Amino acid sequence: MTRWALPRTRVKLITPPIKCQGIKSKLVPFITSNIAWDGEGRWVEPFLGSGVVLFSVQPERALVCDINPNLIRFYSELQNGKVTAAMVKEHLLIEGGILLKTGETHYYAIRERFNAEPNSLDFLFLSRACFNGLMRFNGKGRFNVPFCRKPERFRPAYITKIVNQVKAVTQVIGDKDWEFLTADWRECLSRTNSDDFVYLDPPYIGRSTDYYNQWSDENAVQLSKSVQSLDCGYAMSMWLENRYRQNSHVDDYWVDAEVRTMEHFYHIGSTEDLRNSMTEALLIKPGFEAHGRRTEVKAVRAGMGVLALDG
């Protein structure tokens, strides 16, 4: 038996250096405590996003995919040593110093430079200097988030914080058998084996939180069908409801899933209506839920809520 297995209620949170809307930092213990898997295969993520779940649960083997090449490039270059914490520190000191003197002009100059010739250091700079920690690209793949309007953004303490995050992620990646791949979810799922476990955090249907390409209702339906046909275990994060409405997609396409829920507040979002309390759902393949009485979507809708683990 591998030393890496789920469920785990105590997980060391590794905060990633790249910011992304919908980050699951506060949900990592909820996710890892509700999944049962022996860890014998690979941990597979078709939607890497910020990477906080991957870096915090730290599987021995992983297949990590995302359609956004900038994310995959950044973490691949941490893995192979092309980008180091020392390089990040130097880059942020230099560019942050210019930003302090010239203001938003320099931010937009960096953005243009990055869009012309994408590189990991400028990607990190933009991620930490853009408005409200958003990650957004237009149809041509160009980063288009405006400046956060804080020329003093890269103070020494803030740079140290980012550098320490880079060090932590680099250390985690260093002794693991992880493959980073620029690929969409279809290709990623096609590479799975029966002993793997797939964790999915796709763009949330019905919420404008997509960070690289458009995510349609049709995409979500195709994903639900493909995931539920997998031979291996899986769990998918999805919003269930908020004070305004319920997510009918879950009722329509995930009726047989084991569901665990948690109340969560989003602080990052492009508009105020995306920054509020929400019931998060973890949709799990039956048989891969942590110990506890079975709860289905309809039961949660009826007000039964989350059931405690049996041990």
Q: What is the CATH number of the domain that holds 135?
A: 1.10.1020.10
What pTM does this model have?
0.89
One domain, residues 44 and 150: no
- The DSSP annotation for 203-232 comes to PPTTSS--SSS---HHHHHHHHHHHHT-SS
Taking residue 146's Cβ as centre, other Cβ atoms within 10 Å add up to: 14
> What integer is the mean pLDDT of 202-230?
82
Burial of 58 (0-12, 13-18, 19+ CB in 10 A): middle
Work out the angle between the directed axes of helices 120-129 and 104-116 (0-180°, nearest 10). Answer: 140
One domain, residues 141 and 188: no
Dump pLDDT digits (tens) for 25-78: 999 999 999 999 999 999 999 999 999 999 999 999 999 999 999 999 999 999
Q: Which residue has the higher pLDDT, 266 or 37?
A: 37
- Domain annotation covers residue 9: no
The pLDDT confidence band at residue 267, using thresholds 50, 70 and 90, is low
Helix, strand, coil percent content, the chain, rounded in steps of 5: 40, 15, 45
One domain, residues 190 and 297: yes
The residue written with tokens 């083997």 in the block is 61
Predicted local distance difference test score (pLDDT) of residue 289: 96
One domain, residues 89 and 237: no
Sheet holding 61-66, edge to edge: 177-182, 61-66, 43-45, 197-200, 233-242, 277-284, 258-265
Query: How much is the mean pLDDT over the chain?
Result: 89
Its domain, for residue 119, covers: 81-170
One domain, residues 296 and 191: yes
The pLDDT confidence band at residue 245, using thresholds 50, 70 and 90, is confident
The pLDDT confidence band at residue 89, using thresholds 50, 70 and 90, is very high
One domain, residues 91 and 229: no
- Domain annotation covers residue 217: yes
Dump pLDDT digits (tens) for 133-174: 899 999 899 999 999 999 999 999 999 999 999 999 999 999
Predicted local distance difference test score (pLDDT) of residue 305: 46
The C-alpha atoms of residue 58 and residue 229 are separated, in whole angstroms, by 26
Q: Which residue has the higher pLDDT, 268 or 262?
A: 262
Total domain count for the chain? 2
Q: Are 189 and 227 in contact (CB under 8 A)?
A: yes
- Domain annotation covers residue 311: no
CATH number for the domain harbouring residue 227: 3.40.50.150
One domain, residues 45 and 194: yes
- pLDDT of residue 292 exceeding 70, the answer is no
